[in-house]
Amino acid sequence: MNLTIKKNLVTKVLFGISAMALLSSCVNDQSEKKYNDTVDIPVNQEMIAELTSPPNVPTPVGKRMAKKLIVDLEIQEREGEMTSGVKYIYWTFGGTVPGSFIRTRVGDEVEFHLKNHPDNKLPHNIDLHAVNGPGGGAESSFVAPGHEKVFSFKVLNPGLYVYHCATAPVGMHIANGMYGLILVEPEGGLPPVDKEYYIMQGDFYTEGGYGERGVQPFDMQKAIDEKPDYVVFNGHVGAMTGDNAITAKVGEKVRLFVGNGGPNLVSSFHVIGEIFDKVYVEGGDLINDNVQTTLIPAGGAAIVEFRVDVPGTFILVDHSIFRAFNKGALAMLKVEGEENKAIYSGEIRDGIYLPEGSVIQSMPNGGDKTEKVEMKALSLEERMTFGKDKYMATCSACHQANGQGIEGAFPPLAKSDYLNADVNRAIDIVLHGKTGEITVNGKKYNSVMTAQALSDEEVTNVLTYVYNSWGNSKKEVTPEMVQAVRNR
């Protein structure tokens, strides 16, 4: 039946392109031969598919023969953390966003078991872009909570494909995290590499803005307007940063299976400080070499490969760059190994460059005229929690996560004599910025600190956090103190 569909499709396409194509029978013959071959690949044994959670992928197919592959996938609706202090009810294939990675080869006959956990509230289904058949399996897999649906398909086309839920309202099911990747390897498998990882971008729409605390419900209007609060890799902010970063060693060849679940945005996928040696464009057969940024459509994918030549932390972003630094689309690849000064020197010199007339820049507050209802800290503990979040978002890039600063550039906040000597001066610097030389713990610093567009509550929280961390004087700052400095 699949063969008939393919034949019809090939014929239609050829008619569509040009009647001349019909005269060139070789194109038609080759296509048909290919599908004949694939459809006729015999399947003898049965095996249970290995499914993995991101960022991991199952074992490569290598030289294994085509098999009857049993895929057991369970849908789970569960609460997760979008970012620190922000909860979201995710709908998932296999308990993670993106869903479990499925790895097949051409010629496999997949017997798909879609299970909807009895605790779930809604029916779901699955549309796999690797399927040749109505709805990509959606029509055969619509399943109510507490039920299981089974359908099967022959794997015909090699490539990297998205799967997603296609139950109405489709956009909402995808927006809540119902997508993942299925890889179809060619006969003999993809060429071996040293490291393989699974990354998928998605945009999320919440009633509260970025970072607004509590359980945040899905916002349909923002989704229709295509104005996401979060754009993230692997389901939430920081899924692949810090201790969760993916890793490699110098000299290793890395392959990333990158998908985009959308529902709305296309991704300009880029690794800062790396060049893709190879991109399987849109996850298909076409290979492009030496690529800086590759476009991944919503509901599409790409395979990128590169050798890592020098150690360091390489940042993966959507190069629509506000998404990376303001909405979460940022991941890390940590590479360990020997330096190679011939490829990259590292910093050779750091001098002060402050042209005459340098002025303190202000962080704009976005011209947001609407009054926001601000969550006020009710205890010192809450102040510390809110303060830490704000510190990590606003201050840690320069002063570092543990307040140790960067020698010669950004003064330390940890055990800082300058900070502990005068709280009003510290408040003033956060509010209005600071330029010129200062001495902190006996060392001179001469850089520019920008004025921060923070509310009195936010300044209070962040300074309380700083004063009560890293061996500082444990001073508690109050909104009244901030207001007094602001008004003087």
Q: Cα dihedral angle (77, 83, 84, 89), rounded to 10 degrees?
A: -20
Q: Which amino acid is at 42?
A: P
Residue nearer to Cu ion on the CB measure, 142 or 280: 142
Of 237, 107, 109, which Cα lies nearest the Cα of 185? 107
Do residues 83 and 90 make contact, with C-beta atoms less than 8 angstroms apart? Answer: no
Minimal distance in Å, beta carbon 126 to Cu ion?
Answer: 8
Minimal distance in Å, beta carbon 167 to Cu ion?
Answer: 4
The C-alpha atoms of residue 99 and residue 73 are separated, in whole angstroms, by 9
Residue nearer to Cu ion on the CB measure, 167 or 416: 167
Residue nearer to Cu ion on the CB measure, 124 or 434: 124
Is residue 171 helix, strand or coil? helix
Following DSSP, what letter does each residue of 106-157 receive, concatenated?
TT-EEEEEEEE-TT--S-B--EETT--SGGGGHHHH-B-TTEEEEEEEE--S
Only one residue has tokens 């509230």, namely 121
Residues 6+ apart with CB under 8 A from 267: 201, 258, 260, 295, 296, 318, 320, 329
Minimal distance in Å, beta carbon 273 to Cu ion?
Answer: 38
Residues for the chain: how many in total?
488
Minimal distance in Å, beta carbon 173 to Cu ion?
Answer: 3
Minimal distance in Å, beta carbon 49 to Cu ion?
Answer: 21
Do residues 391 and 470 make contact, with C-beta atoms less than 8 angstroms apart? Answer: no
Residue nearer to Cu ion on the CB measure, 167 or 234: 167
Residue nearer to Cu ion on the CB measure, 163 or 386: 163
Residue nearer to Cu ion on the CB measure, 155 or 181: 181
Reported as half-sphere exposure (CB side, CA atoms, 13 A), residue 84 has a value of: 12
Instruction: Give the binding site for Cu ion (CB under 5 A).
Output: 124, 165, 167, 173, 178
Strand residue runs (E) in 355-411:
none
Minimal distance in Å, beta carbon 248 to Cu ion?
Answer: 35
Beta-bridge partner residues of 232: 202
Do residues 391 and 412 make contact, with C-beta atoms less than 8 angstroms apart? Answer: no
Residue nearer to Cu ion on the CB measure, 168 or 373: 168
Measured in whole angstroms, the distance separating CA 214 from the mean position of its chain's CA atoms is 22
Residue nearer to Cu ion on the CB measure, 55 or 180: 180
